[in-house]
Each structure stands twice: as structure tokens, then as C-alpha cells.
Amino acid sequence: METSWKHSTVLLNEAVDALLDNPAARPDDPAAPAQTYVDATFGRGGHTRLILSRLAPQGHLIAFDKDPEALAEAASIEDSRFSIRHQGFSHLGELPPASVAGVLLDLGISSPQIDNPARGFSFRFEGPLDMRMDTTRGQSLAQWLETAEIDKIAEVIRDYGEERFAGSIAKAIVARRQERGPISSTTELAQLVADAVKTREPGQNPATRTFQAFRIFINAELEELQQALAASLHVLAPGGRLVVISFHSLEDRIVKQFIAQHSRDEYDRRAPFAPPKVMRLKALARIKPGAAEVAANPRARSAVMRVALRTEA
């Protein structure tokens, strides 16, 4: 019997309120013009279902997701206003220019992906070292670790996991590979990391940062985020909303800097008398989950939501 892993959508109402709070769009008004919104990370459809419940009859919601299991969940939504693409959100730029009234990016990993041992995302369960968001394509973590050099492994762990023992962990992985062959399971990798990490913050598993780093690397998460943010400027219509929920400092830093960069006039130092490029975004809010949500869903504790408005430029 197939197990159904549950997912609690983080900042559910806050994200949808921010996305749809657009006076020009008026998504809950039957007389409103047809507006298109994007849920760029469908996951298990929590945000999508709430958006659809508030979307005008003539509106349209486009979702993106790389995970085949997410697409299977999306197939249960019978709504002519909804469509989903089996693509990562870096493909957002394929939509027509200025065609979208709002873009929502809920980053990171969903609870069903973490809790399903077969996906290989968690050090808490015995499972294969996969970690791909899209299991139909690309290289699994196990395949990459079979041939990756020490320096590259250390670089990934250090840059994407901010792990100070990255060098020791990389050496241990390669030594294990040379002695007994490739690492094949999540628990084996977790134990190897625990043996290589000398100290760790209280309450944190020694493998936390390494597993995060490998997941981000295998799925090119930060590169895809940068591509999607740039594409949002292309597809958002003036007055449209950009809403991004991130779950670790690397993601949030990219989002924060992107919004800040495009929230000010840009002057060309090579042409000091030329008119500046006017700002294309206006930062609106930074929101974190409340105490009640964190108590009910501890995985929400690190979430940060940033909201920006597409300007007329």
C-alpha cells in the first residue's frame, strides 16, 4: 500500500494575500479582467488551491514543478483555470512579457519529499542517495559521488552548506569510496559525516549542513532561483506582485539582494549625464511565520517571505 506523506504549506494565507493584493487585478471580482498568476513551485498544491478559491472565473493560474509526484497531485485538480508545466521555475521566462499579475516562489523542499525514504533527502531514514527533485532526469547524488574529486566535494559542502568541516567530510567520502566502493545509502553518508564533524550546534544533526549542500547542488537550486528572479521582471505586468518564501540564508540573501538591486534607480558611471534606469521593483514586506504556525509546524521556523511590487518601468 502506498504511503501518503502530508505537507503543511508554510505562510499559506500570508503568501496568497500578498500575491493577490493587487488593486488593478481584483482577483475576487467577477467583473475583473482576465489575470494570470503563477505558482512557480506547486509542491502539493496548498498555495495553488487557495489561489484558485479566490481567482476570478476568467482568471488563469499556471503552476510549475519538476517533481513527478507533484504532477500526479496536480492531476487531481479539476479546474479549467489551472494548468501545470513539468518544468523547473527557471522556465518562467518562457511566458509572454508582462503577461502575469503575480508570481509566487515557495522555495526549498516539501515535507513529502523529506519524509519519503525513497527520495534520499533525509538523513533520518534509510534510503538511496538520490536527492533529485525530478527523478526522471539528471544525475543522482550517489552517481555524482562515485567520481567527484575531493576539492569539488569540499567546495559544494562549504559553499552550499556553510559547513566549516567541509574538507574533512570530503576526505572521508573519498577515502570510503576508495576502500569499500561508493556510498549507497543516506544513513551511511550521515554516519560518515557524523564521524568527520568534530563539533555541532546543540540540537542539530551533524549531517544537516552536508545534506542541504548536496541537495542544493544536485538540483542547481540557487542558479535556478537567480534565473527565475530575473525572469519575473520579464513576465510581471506593472502592478504585479513577486512573493518569495525562502528557508535558508543562501536563498534569502539572493532574494533580498535582487529586490534591493532593482528597487533603486541605476546610474551608468560611464555616462554620468545620461538618464538613470528607473527602478523596476518596490520592496513591500518581509514576513516570518508567527509563533502559532511554528509551534504547529516546526519546519516553518526558518521561513522568510519577501514581497515586491513590479513598477511601471
Give per-residue pLDDT as tens, 158-188: 999 999 999 999 999 999 999 998 898 999 9
Q: Output the pLDDT for position 184.
A: 85
> Alpha-carbon distance 245 to 106, whole Å?
5
- pLDDT(1) > 60: no
Please, are residues 79 and 52 in contact by the beta-carbon 8 Å criterion? yes
Mean per-residue pLDDT for 67-72? 90
Residues with Cβ within 8 Å of 62's Cβ and at least 6 positions away in sequence, in order, are 36, 37, 38, 39, 83, 84, 85, 95
SS3 content of the chain, % helix, strand, coil (to 5): 40, 15, 45
- pLDDT(35) > 70: yes
Choice among 31-45, 172-186, 238-252, 296-310 with the minimum mean pLDDT:
31-45
Is 89 or 121 the better-scoring residue by pLDDT? 89
**Pairing between strand 60-64 and 82-85?**
parallel
Mean per-residue pLDDT for 14-25? 79
Mean per-residue pLDDT for 216-239? 96
Mean per-residue pLDDT for 190-210? 87
- How many Cα atoms within 13 Å fall on the side-chain side of residue 145? 31
Q: Output the pLDDT for position 294.
A: 92
Q: Which 8-state DSSP code applies to residue 276?
A: P
Q: Which 8-state DSSP code applies to residue 55?
A: S
> Alpha-carbon distance 202 to 205, whole Å?
8
User: Can you read off the three cell numbers belonging to residue 283?
Assistant: 520592496
Where exactly are the structural domains of the chain?
12-111+221-310, 135-218
- Choose among 47, 62, 69: nearest CA to 305: 47
Residues with Cβ within 8 Å of 95's Cβ and at least 6 positions away in sequence, in order, are 36, 38, 62, 235
- pLDDT(210) > 50: yes
Q: Return the CATH architecture of domain 12-111+221-310.
A: 3-Layer(aba) Sandwich (3.40)
Choice among 203-207, 227-231, 300-304 with the minimum mean pLDDT:
203-207
Residues with Cβ within 8 Å of 254's Cβ and at least 6 positions away in sequence, in order, are 222, 225, 226, 229
pLDDT interval class at 34 (50, 70, 90): confident
Q: Output the pLDDT for position 2.
A: 42
pLDDT, averaged across the chain = 89
Mean per-residue pLDDT for 91-103? 96
- pLDDT(117) > 90: no
Mean per-residue pLDDT for 288-310? 93
Topology adopted by domain 135-218: DNA polymerase; domain 1 (1.10.150)
Considering all CA atoms of the chain, what is the largest pairwise distance in Å, rounded to the nearest integer?
70
Q: Output the pLDDT for position 75.
A: 94
- Choose among 55, 13, 62: nearest CA to 32: 55
- pLDDT(33) > 80: no
